[in-house]
Structure 1
Amino acid sequence: MRETQTVRRKVQLRPVRPAGWWCDALLLAGLVTITLALARGALLGLDLAVSRWAFAHDPVPLYRTAQVFNLLGQGGWLLMPISGALAVAVAWRHRSVRPFLLVGGAFLLTSATIGPLKLWTDRAAPTASVKPPFLPPEEAVRIFNDLPAGAYAMSYPSGHVANAIVWYGVIAALLVALTAGRLRPTAHRLIRFAPPAILLVTTTYLNYHWLTDGLAALLLGLLLDRLLHRVPWDDLPLPGRLLRGWDRPALFTSTP
């Protein structure tokens, strides 16, 4: 009697665009460069000028509109719930737990990088000059600050922007899997790139963040997104017998 052999897919990193690690190195170098420049006092004048312009040009209709669009970056009650719901739908469609690996990986990656970086850099938001602790703008804009106890000191980098890049990338990947690769490329690009661009503008205009907070978050988010999409989620070894067959591929339904 011939034994049936299970052929495992070879585990190797997934391709990303642009290909190669040089792009990742440039993104990391850009983030380090902005951070060092801010630590040495450079770019602070630019941040102050942009913030002052935003404070001086905030008519109520435009301000309220920006607030509505800024909701696109809410992770706790928007991005993660949507990602979780899509993961459930893809998992049920393909009878696989692998969509949850992608969502869990995104959560762990963002939690391990964005939050700690915010705590380390200890930077106030622009609004710290108009509400408690009422810092002078020239002090609020400083990075590696020594802020009063209880003061908001988690402005750098912008979590809205960085999280949006990662989570809308996850949402787009899950939608591709849910539609079996039939999601139109235009819709895919719109989902991935429009929300982070909107959030970069709105968080700066609303003075929730300094301009360089958003630029640094843009670089960090793109770096994290590339790392996340390199992981071969469909090929990672899982205990198939324990999962009763729910370890089958589910995500890579089209080329990235």
Structure 2
Amino acid sequence: MRETTTLRNRVRLRPVWPSGWWFDGLLVAVLVAMTLALANGLLVDTDLAVRDWVNGHRPDIANVVALVLNYLGQGGPLTLISIGLAVLVGWRTRSVRPLFVPATAFVFTYLTIGPAKVWTDRAAPSSKLPPEESVQIFATLPPAEYDMSYPSGHVANTVVWYGVIALLLAALLRTLGRPDISPTLYRAMRILPPVIVFCTTTYLGHHWLTDSVAGLLLGLFLDRLLSRVPWDDVPLPALPMALNRPGVFTSTP
């Protein structure tokens, strides 16, 4: 009983900002409210107005720049970068703990973003359907029509995976005897990519404005869940060569 109590006392969630669960609840509430509003025909005029504006203000050079910047939100490369960093940190620290970070992020995103897209069944702004049909959520679209626009996976992935990369990069720097990642660089990695991808994915017409907002809300919610995980304190069984050793993520941002 004493060992169990000690173990429970040791495993504490990491702090996040803003602290507490109220902000998580707010993110979910706003996401649900916006989804219900779209289902009842609200906000669609805004989506259509934004689509019409970007379609008329997208010169070739701006289109190319936006396309390049939008690659910052590609989930596949971000996942591979995160796995590579996790393997490198795990090899240098002789611990399997870093591998759990991208694995958990992948599970979180896989179980939320994809199912939400399938469930909401929304066409993209580039759809050839009439505007009043393509903008609808919970629609019944033709078999060949793209119907996975809501929420934006690019935006959600950017929030989640750059948080994972920042965490692993800080751990890697420490194994090299370098100072932790600077607060300025950390904030830049957390803020700039999501903002850039939010703007470019909407500007290119890949997603409706509300798709991008929904992706941002969902990404922030998942990021806060991941940020709370005390990776060094998660109980693991005894592993050969002490591969369950902690101390990998101590003092990360």
Q: Distance in 2 between matches of 1:73 and 1:201?
A: 11
Partner of 1:101: 100
Partner of 2:199: 201
How far has the Cα of 1:190 moved from its partner? 0.8
For residues 145-199 of structure 1, the C-alpha deviation after alignment (integer angstroms, 9 at most, x for no partner) is 1100121100000000001100000000001111125211000111111111100
2:180 to 176, 179, 182: 182
Give, as a single letter, the amino acid of the residue that structure 1 aligns with 2:182: R
Mapping of 1:63-74 within 5 angstroms?
Answer: 63-74=63-74
CA separation of 1:7 and 1:149: change in aligned 2, threshold 3 A? closer
- Structure 1 stretches of 5 or more lacking a match? 1-5, 129-133
Q: Distance in 2 between matches of 1:151 and 1:136?
A: 12
For residues 5-62 of structure 1, the C-alpha deviation after alignment (integer angstroms, 9 at most, x for no partner) is x989811211111110001010010100110110010000000000000111111000
For residues 197-235 of structure 1, the C-alpha deviation after alignment (integer angstroms, 9 at most, x for no partner) is 100000000000000000111111000000111112211
Mapping of 1:1-256 within 5 angstroms?
Answer: 10-76=10-76, 78-128=77-127, 134-180=128-174, 182-240=180-238, 242-254=239-251, 256=253
Q: Distance in 2 between matches of 1:81 and 1:24?
A: 28
The aligned length equals 244
How far has the Cα of 1:244 moved from its partner? 2.0
Give, as a single letter, the amino acid of the residue that structure 2 aligns with 1:170: V
Give, as a single letter, the amino acid of the residue that structure 2 aligns with 1:253: T
- Structure 2 stretches of 5 or more lacking a match? 1-5
Q: Could you tell me whether the CA contact under 8 Å between 2:180 and 2:252 is conserved in 1? A: no
Q: Could you tell me whether the CA contact under 8 Å between 2:48 and 2:131 is conserved in 1? A: yes
Moved over 6 A (4+): 6-9
For residues 60-94 of structure 1, the C-alpha deviation after alignment (integer angstroms, 9 at most, x for no partner) is 00000000000111111x10111011101111221
Partner of 1:156, secondary structure, is: coil
Partner of 1:179, secondary structure, is: helix
Q: Percent identity?
A: 59
Q: Could you tell me whether the CA contact under 8 Å between 2:151 and 2:211 is conserved in 1? A: yes
Q: Could you tell me whether the CA contact under 8 Å between 2:170 and 2:252 is conserved in 1? A: no
State the Cα RMSD in Å.
1.6
> Normalising by the residue count of structure 2, what TM-score does the alignment of the two structures yield?
0.93
